[in-house]
Amino acid sequence: MNAEPLIQLDGIVKRYNVGLPNEAEVLHGVSMQLARGEFVALIGPSGSGKSTLLNVLGLLEKPTAGSYRILGEETTTLDDAGRTRRRGSSLGFVFQFHHLLPAFTALENVTLPALMKEGRVSAAQREHAREVLAAMGLKDAMAKKPGELSGGMQQRVAIARALVLQPPLVLADEPTGNLDTASSNEVFALLRQLHAERGISFLVVTHDPRLAARCDRVVELVDGRVQRDEPQQASSG
């Protein structure tokens, strides 16, 4: 009955400037796992190691020690090409700042992952991108460029881009941190809706305790160690 975890970290250590006088250890043996279909908040004070942990989870940085498995595959032994392949097939990313290309339309921005992965965008991929944008309430904004969209709409385009290759896990780094309260609530509600309807797993880094309270589980990082990891009842507020 035990399903394989979507991701599993065991004893992850991350040091910078190894061997130099200013060597610093940021993560001190972090272990955690995330199952398919979970919606998890990652919280902690500034300097706790959240960004470093997210970079490790996103295969953007290799840990100094420890094991990181995605769907059973050990990633710490992969070369750059293998890490890029695994990142493209398993992970989507949403950031605080949307990082949309200003010269591209919303639709072109959303099809960018397919273009980068395969060198072209097929008709089926373009149609899927349209469907995802429509699901985001952006049916009438596909031909608009980012500068013609509100901040909340731009972030919804960024979420559509993260989902277009249908990854099992989306890593969201302060996805509402650059939005006003109304837009923040709107975007977070959309993430919860996508989680419910599509079964996508989310790991959301947030400083906002109101948003963390609306997640199903909270992992708290303090000084590079997991201080708390517990499920909670997600509220509707």
Q: What is the CATH number of the domain that holds 85?
A: 3.40.50.300
pLDDT at site 235: 47
Residue 237 belongs to some domain of the structure: no
Residue 236 belongs to some domain of the structure: no
Q: Judge contact between 112 and 106, C-beta under 8 A.
A: no
pLDDT at site 87: 86
Residue 193 belongs to some domain of the structure: yes
Residue-range definition of the domain harbouring residue 99: 7-231
Residue 50 belongs to some domain of the structure: yes
pLDDT at site 222: 93
Rounded CA separation 175/171 (Å):
9
Q: What pTM did the predictor assign?
A: 0.84
Residue 2 belongs to some domain of the structure: no
What's the domain count of the chain? 1
pLDDT at site 89: 82
Residue 18 belongs to some domain of the structure: yes
pLDDT in 10s for each residue of the chain, 237 residues: 357 889 999 999 999 988 889 989 899 999 999 998 899 999 998 889 998 999 999 999 999 999 999 998 999 999 998 988 888 888 888 876 667 888 999 999 998 887 777 777 788 888 888 888 888 888 888 999 988 988 888 888 888 888 887 889 989 888 777 777 887 887 888 888 888 888 889 999 988 888 888 899 999 999 999 999 988 764 444
Q: Is 23 buried (19+), middle (13-18) or exposed (0-12) by CB count in 10 A?
A: exposed
